[in-house]
Amino acid sequence: MASEQQTFDTRWPGLENTGYVQVPNLLIEHQHDLNITHSEFVVLLGIMRHGQSKKTSYPGPKLLGSYNGLKKLQIQLNIRSLKKKGIISTRPRTGTTNIYDISPLKEKLKSYTHGIKKVIHPYQKPNTPPYQEFNTKEEAIKKIKRIRPISSGKPTPLADIMAARTRGP
């Protein structure tokens, strides 16, 4: 069943003139995988918001902090951390705020959509489970989450383990 695409105007009536920032779903889904903290995420959204604007395309730490209540130093530390993690890059401008570039983030997110080649054991036939020849990182992560259920911290009885092995995946 295909869902009908809604525009911003129909989803958020009355707010269409205030603007919006488009955020890729991959960024939301892989925030943890990219090691982006919550405060870094909020700062990144502020940077993305200004990347689309001609008026204020180079926001300073004071302006970014005004959105979320973070102090100037906290904003600067988050920006430094995002640069260190390879999420953004900056270019200084003389006597004013930096130019922010989120193209490193775009490249990292693209890596979740590209096919990755898996190593196939010589005795395993290609394209048979569990060694399909190609997958995306996205599919591989979902498989790992299905294969490795989150432990409750309690030991699993041996009878349950043996029953799961005879049942199969």
Q: For the segment 103-156, what is each residue's pLDDT rounded down to a tens digit?
A: 999 999 988 886 655 555 555 555 555 545 455 666 666 665 555 555 566 777
Say what the pLDDT of residue 120 is: 55
Say what the pLDDT of residue 1 is: 42
Pairing outcome for strands 89-91 and 134-136: unpaired
Contact indicator for 103, 84 with CB cutoff of 8 Å? no
Q: pTM of the predicted model, to two decimals? A: 0.62
Question: Given a cut of 90, is residue 86 above it in pLDDT?
Answer: yes
* Cα–Cα dist 112/78, whole Å: 24
Q: Where are the domains of the chain?
A: 15-110, 115-167
CATH 3.40.640.10 fits 15-110, yes or no: no
* Residue pLDDT, tens place only, 32-44: 989 999 999 999 9
Contact indicator for 135, 126 with CB cutoff of 8 Å? no
Decide: helix, strand or coil at residue 90. strand
